[in-house]
Each structure stands twice: as structure tokens, then as C-alpha cells.
């Protein structure tokens, strides 16, 4: 165990004891509790696909001029994050001699996302393993981009974030 992760060989898993403790907590009742939950889920962001998209409504709830009110959409987002935390993949470390696969997603509105995978052999069968997921919200000016501009922004941002793997 190291910093909330279970490290073994060529893999990195979430500490299930920490995840279980957070999952047992009730729905956040105030901004401080929501910020704590969002901080925890953000710590494991590399394990959760499209986390920025899922959490966008919950982050808005923590804004200054917003009344803290949990509606069905926010409750669903909270439950989805809990589900993703319990079903998150074990991340594998890259082997730079083998090819990497890079998936991008500019359609995870209102944001950008990517997944970096590597092909591996498990029990004699070829499979793809997740190295990491990344995602982010679009800023105000980017949110006004045409679809083609967003589609061009996505690989540029993704490659900037993941350049150390290339």
C-alpha cells in the first residue's frame, strides 16, 4: 500500500478499505461534505472514465451563489460516482516496448476525455488494460466552440496531458 493505492508488480489498484469507508457515508448534506466527497473521488480520477463529466453538476452545487439542493440529477451523479469507485479497473503500468492505444472523446459534453490502454496477454488471451483515464470540463470560451473545434481541441489537450507516455 502506498498513498491510497495497492501497488503490485505492474498494476495500481485503489485501496478498497478507503473506498468502502467513503461509500458507507450518507449523501452529503452540505457544501463541506460534498467538497470532501469530490476531493476523494478526484484523487482516484485516473481510475474513473469521464469523471469530469459525471461530477460537473456536483461541482456547480459547491459554487458561491448556488443554494445547496440535491435534486435527482445530482443524486444520480453521486450514485454513479460511488458505482464507478467500486467497479474501477486496476490500472496497469505501460511497457514502452509494446504499442499503446489512445482513445479520445470530445463528446462527453461539456468536457473532454481520453483513455490510454495497452494490449497485454492474460491467460494466453490478448486483452486491453487501462493505463489511465483523463477528463476535464470545457472552460467558458471553449464551451462556445463549434463541434469541429472541440473535436480538434480534444486530441491536443489529451496529448499535452499524456505526453510523458509517448
Confidence of residue 80 (pLDDT cuts 50, 70, 90): very high
Q: Do residues 101 and 54 both lie within one domain?
A: no
Q: For residue 24, give the C-alpha cell.
A: 458507507
How many domains, in total, are found in the chain?
2
Where is the domain boundary, 86, 104, 134?
Answer: 86
Q: Do residues 136 and 161 both lie within one domain?
A: yes
Residue 153, pLDDT score: 94
In the chain, pLDDT over 70 holds for what percent of residues? 97
What pLDDT digit, counting tens, does each position of 117-144 carry?
998 777 888 888 999 999 999 999 999 9
Q: For residue 60, give the C-alpha cell.
A: 456547480
Asked whether the predicted pLDDT for residue 2 surpasses 70, the reply is no
Edge-to-edge strand order for the sheet containing 11-14?
5-8, 11-14, 91-92
Residue 112 domain boundaries:
94-165
Q: Do residues 127 and 144 both lie within one domain?
A: yes
Q: Report CA dihedral (91, 38, 75, 54) to the nearest 10 degrees.
A: -50
Confidence of residue 8 (pLDDT cuts 50, 70, 90): confident
What pLDDT digit, counting tens, does each position of 89-126 carry?
999 988 888 889 999 988 766 789 999 999 877 788 88
Amino acid at each position: 500500500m502506498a498513498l491510497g493505492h495497492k501497488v503490485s508488480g505492474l498494476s495500481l489498484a485503489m485501496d478498497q478499505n478507503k473506498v468502502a469507508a467513503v461509500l458507507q457515508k450518507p449523501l452529503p448534506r452540505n457544501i463541506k461534505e460534498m467538497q470532501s466527497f469530490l476531493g476523494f473521488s478526484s484523487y482516484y480520477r485516473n481510475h474513473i472514465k469521464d469523471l469530469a463529466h459525471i461530477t460537473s453538476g456536483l461541482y456547480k452545487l459547491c459554487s458561491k451563489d448556488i443554494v445547496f439542493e440535491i435534486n435527482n440529477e445530482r443524486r444520480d451523479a453521486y450514485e454513479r460516482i460511488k458505482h464507478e469507485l467500486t467497479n474501477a479497473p486496476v490500472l496497469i503500468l505501460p511497457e514502452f516496448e509494446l504499442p499503446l492505444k489512445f482513445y479520445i472523446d470530445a463528446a462527453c459534453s461539456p468536457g473532454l476525455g481520453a483513455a490510454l490502454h495497452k494490449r497485454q496477454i492474460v491467460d494466453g488471451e490478448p486483452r486491453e488494460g487501462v493505463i489511465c483515464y483523463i477528463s476535464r470540463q470545457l472552460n467558458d470560451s471553449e464551451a462556445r466552440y463549434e463541434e469541429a473545434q472541440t473535436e480538434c481541441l480534444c486530441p491536443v489537450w489529451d496529448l499535452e496531458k499524456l505526453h510523458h507516455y509517448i
